[in-house]
Every structure is written in structure tokens, then in C-alpha cells.
Amino acid sequence: MNETICGLPPPTNATPLAYAPGSRERDSIRVELDRALAASVEIPVIIGGKEVYTGRMKPVLCPHDRTKIIAHFHEARPEDVRDAIEAASRAKAEWEAVDWRERAAIFRRAASLICGERRFELNAATMLGQSKSVYQAEIDAVCESADFFRHYGGFMKHIFEEQPASLPDEWNRLEYRALEGFIYAISPFNFTAIGANLAAAPAVMGNTVIWKPATAAVLSNYLLMRIYREAGLPGGVINFLPGQGSVTSGGLLPHRDFAGLHFTGSNQVFDSLQRDIAAGLGNYRSYPRVVGETGGKDFALVHPSADPEVVVAQAIRGAFEYQGQKCSALSRIYIPASMKASVLDRLVEETRTIRTGDVRDFGAFMNAVIDGAAYESIMGYIERAKASASCRILAGGKGDSSVGWFIEPTIILTEDPRAESMSSEIFGPVLTVHVYDDSRAEEIFDLIDSTSPYALTGAFFARDRKAIELAQARLRNAAGNFYINDKPTGAIVGRQPFGGARRSGSNDKSGASLNLLRWTSPRAVKENFAPLREWRYPYMRPETD
């Protein structure tokens, strides 16, 4: 049955639907939003393919309208964590023995479901639960999730094709094995597709996974679990444990079979997980693979030769889409004094026209930030900037948490290029501007490179080719994803592999075979077709002269 060299069809990236007035998709998503708001989903823990209702229920709210409860989820208990380890271990042998193309085909089927009959359901859950506009949800939950799933086959083929050379009388080969043990996937709230990839990437490589989703994304993430089942993923391959991270980590990280962590989220959490893993060394069966993508303080440098209109449009999308809650969101911009009127004043003017609102209001460019803690934290940065002598608020600066957690798109101007809002990750709709003297253009490179501990994304705007060449060289280590005349957000699977170094993470590049490479443990096999029978070397023979 496996006597074939056929591969999977080549991947293509999904095309986002536009949801323009009068379109069919606009009608469909409205129907689905109404349906989802009227329903109240009960989300179980899922272990070994079985739903477990633990009774410890927590509500899931719409961040833009806190009175609306769209679901309740059951929190995992310590005994569920133990059961999940057993389920992952039971499912392992059979799953890793499945042909890699068959494993990839399951995720291809999931991609087709996401782009087809489950599209609006997954999109609506992401819009309501994570407060995303229809288009932001479409490019995330639908397109990026499907892109990951459709690319896995090609990424795996690329890895598996890496084979050693052989002489005529030997056969050398690399076998790509799953890791021994289970993989622990922990996902953030801000992208449904990140949750999809963190659990699915190790799984497609033959591993079994225990997935702890973020509470605010639990509804869309649960729908992914249902899609996996519908696509034919066997029970126990991905086990779903919503709830408190301390409970899942408490059971999983000290376990002997913990084989790897696939994490995306804040530095604080990743640091604490790394410490726990370090404390467990010596107990583990293998050295665990630790892949973590964390924060960013993403920049744009505008060169005096830049096209002002391009800068303004890209800066607005880069900084304020999804309320700035993207790890790649533009949060500091350096503008030459000569472009104050053409770029800065225009940027402020345009930002003042942005409307925030409910996700069902399609005229709103922005929606709410994720929860009360995020609201307080972001407003704290804004208030401290207001109180600082070196900062001035040029646009926005106000929040309103009476219905949902809304914060105006805010632009801060600072004379101090190392001000708090130029260096700390705010993770909200706040863009800080520093205006530099055109004659100091080359000093700015070092300033950008050294202002924050992160190195995730950055953008350079210029028409001068020499300047573009120089910026690429001088900002070489300042960002793992560097954009020229484009916003620093919106990486696409297979086209812009994503991740950064320094404090931004392990830079294992999701959306590329580099990430899947972390979830395999190769075995080199040598077979000798003409083995020697003599153990003595020729040099040992007696000299005859």
C-alpha cells in the first residue's frame, strides 16, 4: 500500500474573503454571529478523544460587551492532567506508525473544513471571544490556520529528504522519529492560528500532545478540537486541557516523559516555565525540546526618502489592527524631522478618524482589548506617558471600560528615545513616535538596536536603494522578521517564516520546516552490504623488505 512515491498536492495560501457590503460572506457571518450569541456552548476537557465535564465551570465573555457570556468551559483538574499523560502515551505508538503523508492528509482535511463548512463558525467564535474584527478573524482563524495545515506536508517532505551520502557498498539513511514522551503546547489568546499550530505541528510529526489553550481563546480553540475529530485525527493525539496553567504545568513539567514545550506567550510565563524545566533536568528521559516565542517591541524607521503615504497607511495597520495585540505590532516609530508634516501630522490626523466598537459593527476598525487586566496595564502606560515631561499625547489617550475594554488608538510623541513606551512591550493600541534630525539618520540604527531587549519585527521605509542596503546590514540582529516598505505585521505561512531572537524567543520560525524540525529525533542508520571479515589493518602487517 505504501509502495508509492506520491506526495501531497502542493500547498497554496488561503485567500481571505473581503466581507464587503452586499457580499454573501457578510450575510453568512452575520447569521453565524447571531447564532453564536444566542447559543451557550459548554466546553469540556478532552482526553483521549473523550469529553470530560469536570464541573469547575468558568464563563467566557465578549471583551467588547462584558454582559455577553458566549460559553462556559470546564477547567482541568490535577487528575485530568494525569489522565491526559496516560492518554497521550497510549495513543503514541499507533500514531507515530501512521505514514507521514496520511498524518499530513488529516490536517489537509481540517484545512478544507476550516475554509469550507466550518469557516463562519470558527470566524464568529474568534470575533466574539477574542474581540477581533471580521477581517482580522478571517486572516487569523481561517486563513492562517488553514495555511499551517496545508503546508505541513511540504515542510515534512523537505525535512525527510535530507539524507546522507552512501558509498556503493553501504546504505546510509536518516529516519525521522517522534520524540519519546509527550509534547506540552501552551498557546496565547491573540491568534486562533497560533493555538492551531502549537498543538498540530508536533502532532503531524508523529508526537502526541497535551494542549493548554488560553482562557480568552477557549471557544475558538475548542472548535479546532471538533474540527480535528471531524478530519479524522485519532483520540489522544491532541488532548485539550483548558484551565489554569499552574495546574497543567504542575502535573506535566515534572513528569519523566515530558519531551518538549511548544509555547507562545509572554516572557514572564516562558521564563518561569524554563526555570521549572531546568529544575526537572536529570528526571527527564530526554533533554526536552523547548520552543518559545515571546514578546516584541517592534519598530519602524522612516528614511527621508520614504513615500509618506505608504508610511502612514502601513503604520496605522501595523500599530492598531487588533488593538495592537499582536506580538509583531508596530509600537515605536522613528520619523525624520523633514517629514513631520507629511508623515507625523498625517498619521495623527488619520488615527483620529479610527473608530472602535463591537465586532458586529463592521465600520469599526478596532474592537476591545482582551480583558480587564490588559486594559489596566495599557492605560497605566498611557497615564505614565501623560505624566512624563518628555512625552506628549498626540492622539487618543482615553479608555472606556463601562461596556467593554475599549482603548482609543493612541499616539505618544517623545523627545526621549528611551522612554518607557519606546522600550517596554505594551501589547495595546499605543504607538510612540520619536522625531530625529535628518542629519543623524545613521545614529538611529544603533539606537533602535539597543533600545529594547526584544528582536521580533521591524520595518524600514525608504526609496533610496543604498539606504535600504545599509538598514538591512545595520539592523541585522534587531529583528527576526524585517520588512522593507511594509508593515511589520501579517507574516504568512510559507512566505515569511516567523519568530525573533534575543528576548523574543527561541526563533524556531513557525510557518517553515525549521519549526517542525524541532519535533523529530533523527536516527542515522548505516547498513553495510560488504562487511569486512578481517580486524587487522594493513599497516599492522610485518614488513618483508
Question: Residues interacting with ligand NAD, by CB under 6 A?
Answer: 186-191, 194, 212, 214, 245-246, 248-249, 264-266, 269, 272, 293-296, 327, 425, 427, 456, 499, 504-505
Catalytic pick from 293, 321, 408, 420? 293
Rounded Cα gap, residues 508 and 147, in angstroms: 18
Minimum CB separation from ligand NAD for residue 464, in Å? 31
Q: How far is the CB of 456 from ligand NAD (least distance, A)?
A: 6
Minimum Å distance from CB 499 to ligand NAD?
6
Question: Hey, is 511 helix, strand or coil?
Answer: coil
| Cβ proximity to ligand NAD, 13 vs 266, nearer residue | 266
C-beta closer to ligand NAD: residue 124 or 479: 479
Q: Which is nearer to ligand NAD, 190 or 314 (CB)?
A: 190
Closest approach of ligand NAD to the CB of residue 191, in Å: 6
Distance CA 108, CA 492 (A): 17
459: nearest Cα among 451, 450, 469, 471: 471
Q: Report d(CA 284, CA 277) in Å as an integer.
A: 9
Give 445-451's long-range contacts (Cβ < 8 A, gap of 24+).
445/301, 445/470, 445/471, 445/474, 445/475, 446/474, 447/334, 447/417, 448/299, 448/301, 448/334, 448/475, 448/478, 449/474, 449/475, 449/477, 449/478, 451/297, 451/332, 451/417, 451/418, 451/422, 451/423
In this complex, which beta carbon is closest to ligand NAD, that of residue 79 or of residue 464? 79
HEC string for 148-196: HHHHHHHHHHHHHCCCCCCCCCEEEEEEEECCCCEEEEECCCCCHHHHH
Nearer CB in complex with ligand NAD: 16/245: 245
Residue among 189 and 228 whose Cβ is closer to ligand NAD = 189
**Chain centre to alpha carbon of residue 470:** 30
The gap from C-alpha 172 to its chain's centroid, in whole angstroms, comes to: 37
Buried b (16+ CB within 10 A) or exposed e, 262-272: bbbbebebbee
Q: Which residue is nearest to ligand NAD (CB)?
A: 245
Whole-angstrom distance, CA of residue 19 vs CA of residue 23: 6
Q: What is the C-alpha to C-alpha distance for residues 324 and 406, in angstroms, rounded to an integer?
A: 12
115 included as an active-site residue:
no
Residue of 143, 327, 420, 425 marked catalytic: 327
| Closer residue to ligand NAD in complex, CB, 105/217 | 217
Supply the minimum distance, in Å, between the C-beta of residue 293 and ligand NAD: 3
Cell of 495: 512566505
C-alpha cell at 170: 553501504
Contact 454, 502 (CB under 8 A): yes
- The three-state secondary structure class of 399 is strand
Active site residue 293: yes
Which is it for strands 391-395 and 182-186: parallel, antiparallel or unpaired?
unpaired
The set of catalytic residues is 293, 327
